[in-house]
Chains A and B, each alone.
Chain A
């Protein structure tokens, strides 16, 4: 079973902000400039909350490839899940805009045979690898199915 979450690269701007704030505090300390207590508390709070909130948002959405299903999980305390039978997957689309390509993450759309059933996997790190893995899993199931069918035919 493979489980993945959104890529941390989505939050690159927030991380940059936190790094800038931390860098500014270090600079003020090193240069022995006045460091206001409340401004420092605000800065520390910004960094701590920034890390916590981005991690919570990231962990809130997850995707699992089980031997039979592709599962889309949503929520931390209360949970919602949406499943697609791997056997029913007919098409996998990979979408990346310029920014996503530069940072190496992207979105994947998985279409089931029924047409209406689509799972959108957003902001997946190294999406090509995930697509390859998913395809391999789907192919494996297909091959197993074909072998079973062939055996049945031979028996018949």
Chain B
């Protein structure tokens, strides 16, 4: 039995062309909603991987780095982060966690811990410029917030939030290049250098980052480190 015989000619109020257009529009709407909801990140990362900009580095075959430097002007981190800890200043704004919002103006200081974060985090020397993503659990001054439905919950700040301390565990950083001062320790103390206003070029990095009072501490593995004119190490 064909569809035509089942539906019949008489039902054909719209012409075949109109029906086809409506169906194509429907498919476009559904596929765009589905794409942005389920696949956008995955497909983008697959494309990035396929053209050689993989966000992964092999930590076993990397340069072990521990550095205490002056903080770069700003930093953008996208993707999965195991844990974010932050101590933020009193501000008349809200921190949105799932369907709840927490007033950050009630206490002089708020200590937030975010677990299994997936999203975007960007910050400069004074403010968290963007925090928007999903998390499995959030602790706000020791009080736990977990998703009601069992999946991850959406978390975000509406505006820039001033912070005193920020620690991010197990993150990936894209190659970074800036002029800084401080100390760099490589491969468990085998190489130790102090730099003063030198240009540092750090390759892809995976590890922990801590920011406190303008200090920028990193600990993890990198594929490359260059202190221009002084040191150049690659894997």
Residue B7 CB within 8 A of the other chain: yes
Interface size on B, residues (CB 8 A): 30
A14-B22, A31-B149 known; A43 vs B37 contact (CB < 8 Å): no
B11 at the interface (CB under 8 A from A): yes
Contact B29 A39 (CB under 8 A): yes
Of all chain A residues, the one with the shortest Cβ separation from B26 is A17
Q: A28-B37, A35-B37 are in contact. Are A122 and B10 (CB under 8 A)?
A: yes
Q: Is B30 in contact with chain A by the CB < 8 A criterion?
A: yes
Determine whether the beta carbon of A123 is less than 8 Å from that of B10: yes
Nearest CB in chain A to that of B38: its residue: A33
Q: Which of A14, A20, A34, A35 has the most CB of B within 10 A?
A: A34
Q: Which of B7, B25, B32, B37 has the most chain A CB within a 10 Å cutoff? A: B37
| Cα–Cα distance between A38 and B8 once the two chains are bound (Å) | 37
Which residues of A have CB within 8 Å of B22?
14, 17, 50
The CA-CA distance from A100 to B29 in the complex, in Å, is 29
Other A-B pairs beyond A20-B26, A31-B151, A32-B98, 5, CB < 8 Å: A20-B30, A24-B30, A46-B26, A97-B7, A99-B11
Interchain residue pairs A-B with the least CB separation, the first 7: A97-B8, A36-B36, A39-B32, A33-B37, A17-B26, A32-B154, A28-B37
29 A-B pairs whose Cβ atoms sit less than 8 Å apart in the complex: A6-B13, A10-B11, A11-B13, A14-B22, A20-B26, A24-B33, A25-B33, A28-B33, A28-B37, A31-B151, A32-B98, A32-B153, A33-B38, A34-B36, A34-B37, A36-B36, A36-B40, A39-B33, A39-B35, A43-B29, A46-B29, A50-B22, A95-B10, A97-B5, A97-B10, A100-B11, A122-B10, A122-B13, A123-B11
